[in-house]
Structure 1
Amino acid sequence: MVFFADRYHFMALNVFLAYIPIEISFHFREVNRKIALILGMLWLLFYPNAPYLLTDFFHLENLSIYRGMDQLFGQSLSAWLSFSLLTAGICVYAFLGMTTLLTALNECYRRGVFSKKQQGVFFFLIVNLLSSLAIFVGRFDRLHSVYLFTEPVETLKTIFLNWSVDKVLFILLFTGLQLVLLLTIVGIMKLSWTKKEEWLD
């Protein structure tokens, strides 16, 4: 994206931020309970950057590929390269990043933080709701994760004290979208595991 795309250079930062929860999830099993708690908090802070990438699809409208109704698509190679880089970055890191929610959930069960299925379902829903809230303030209030460290009071006020009907509806809509995608990921993982068992047989 930095070296080959004519546009979307900013996506390099967005993809990097979406990679952070992935990297954190690699270390859950390696640390003791106290460090795992700190990693979990950092993971929760950066996790919304993964599904946030999905909102970057609207940047496709800046490309010259689509020329309107009843017209042929443009054949600009540079535009299609930008399309490919944007789509790859969004799909790969959004899905991999969202998969870390399942990793975090499994780790909570492994460490005995959760003992009942209902607790896991509640955790699953809460993380998605918080993620949708973070996506809203990131996209419309232009807040970034780093603002929680540089301007914590104002950032928390913006996140939790400023409400509107549109904000609530967006959060519900995006929570539903995330749940659909996460269930799709679970289905793919189960399908993949079934295929492995068939190969072993």
Structure 2
Amino acid sequence: MYEKQFCFLQRNLNIALLSIVSFSAVALLAFRIYSYDWDFIFLVWNLFLAWVPLLFIQMVWSYEIRRRLPLWLLIVCFLIWLLFFPNAPYIITDLKYVRSVPQNMIWYDALMLFNFSVAGFLAGLYSIRIVHRIFAHRWNHAVAWLVVMISMLLGGFGVYLGRYGRWNSWDIVTQPIALLQGITSRVLDPFAIKHTFTFSFVMMLLYFAFHIFAELKKHEGTHKYS
């Protein structure tokens, strides 16, 4: 029994470590709620949304390596993942709330917001890495990197739509026409373009560093973190 649990932990070490980071963020929030107020309870929901694309693509990857998915289904799964992916980097924008916290809580709240941001962004990085694996496994690394870059670009625009347009991933189902109008009205907006490319560029740099680090650890031979 313990051997099975240990093997499961080894196979899902990244998920386990990310769970610890996420739990520490929620614990900080719980203490703040207990001692002060409920102002930041929305962070739990935002963190949950950051986990959704990771857990979804992890299930897709687990199935893909056991039994090759039909191409059409793989594309559908990728599009579903892409729809929710911006929720992961989006949580970084919650750092803006540190400007409005009471002076006596500023360091605690800054640490808490940073913890949530790190947890959400790491979920996004690991999520995109799994996408990278899937496309490299199905085709090659050139295709995988192209998919990663396109995903980062669309993810950056998704963060902009979420923060400034106040759109949600599920609006594509609940109000698709309004969402399409919101996208077309902002896609050529200079501020939207600047925000999208800046955010995408930073995400790409961080993912590249994350990818290189993971590959180096994988080839060390003694410990495998990827």
Q: What TM-score do you get using the length of structure 2 for normalisation?
A: 0.73
Instruction: Indicate yes or no: 2:53 matched with 1:30.
Output: no
Q: Distance in 1 between matches of 2:185 and 2:149?
A: 21
What is the alpha-carbon distance in structure 2 between the residues aligned to residue 191 and residue 13 of structure 1?
Answer: 34
Find out whether 1:57 has 2:92 as its counterpart: no
DSSP 3-state at the match of 2:31? coil
- Distance (Å, rounded) in 1 between the aligned partners of 2:142 and 2:215: 21
SS of equivalent to 1:173: helix
Of residues 90, 93, 96 in structure 1, which corresponds to 2:120? 93
Return 8-17 or 31-40, whichever deviates more.
31-40
What is the root-mean-square deviation in Å for CA atoms of aligned residues? 2.3
Structure 1 unmatched ranges of 5 or more: 66-75
- 1:17 maps to what in 2? 49
Q: CA separation in 2, counterparts of 1:199 and 1:171?
A: 36
CA deviation after TM superposition for structure 1 residue 138, in Å: 0.8
The 8 Å contact of residues 133 and 159 in structure 1, kept in 2 or not, is answered as: no
Match of 2:199 among 160, 174, 181: 174
Cross-structure match for 2:153:
129
Q: Which amino acid aligns with 2:79?
A: M
Question: What's the secondary structure of 2:134's corresponding residue?
Answer: helix
Q: Are 1:189 and 2:214 counterparts? A: yes
**Number of residues of Structure 1 aligned to a counterpart in Structure 2:** 185
Q: 1:42 is matched with which residue: 80, 85, 93?
A: 80
The verdict on how the C-alpha distance between 1:11 and 1:43 changes in structure 2, with shifts beyond 3 A counting, is same
**Residues 199 and 52 of structure 1, relative CA distance in 2, 3 Å threshold:** closer
Q: Look up the equivalent residue of 2:114 and give its one-letter code.
A: T
Return 5+ residue gaps in structure 2 as ranges: 1-25
**Aligned-pair identity (%):** 19
The runs of at least 4 aligned residues of structure 1 exceeding 6 Å deviation read none
- Match of 1:141, SS state, is coil
The match for 2:178 is: 154
Contact 2:47 2:119 in 1 (8 A): no
The CA deviation at 1:159 is: 1.4
Contact preservation (8 Å) 1:8, 1:82: no
Q: Aligned partners of 2:179, 2:40: CA distance in 1, in Å?
A: 27
Is 157-166 or 10-19 further displaced after alignment? 157-166
Question: 1:167, 1:153 → 2: CA distance?
Answer: 20
Contact 2:57–2:131 (8 Å) recurs in 1: yes
The Cα of 1:126 is off from its aligned counterpart by 0.9
| Equivalent residues of 1:8, 1:86 under 8 A apart | no
* SS of equivalent to 1:27: helix
* Partner secondary structure for residue 26 of structure 1: helix
Greater share of residues in helix: 2
CA drift of 1:35 comes to: 4.3
Cα distance in 2 for residues equivalent to 1:191 and 1:197? 9
User: For residues 77 and 120 of structure 2, what CA distance do their matches in structure 1 show?
Assistant: 19
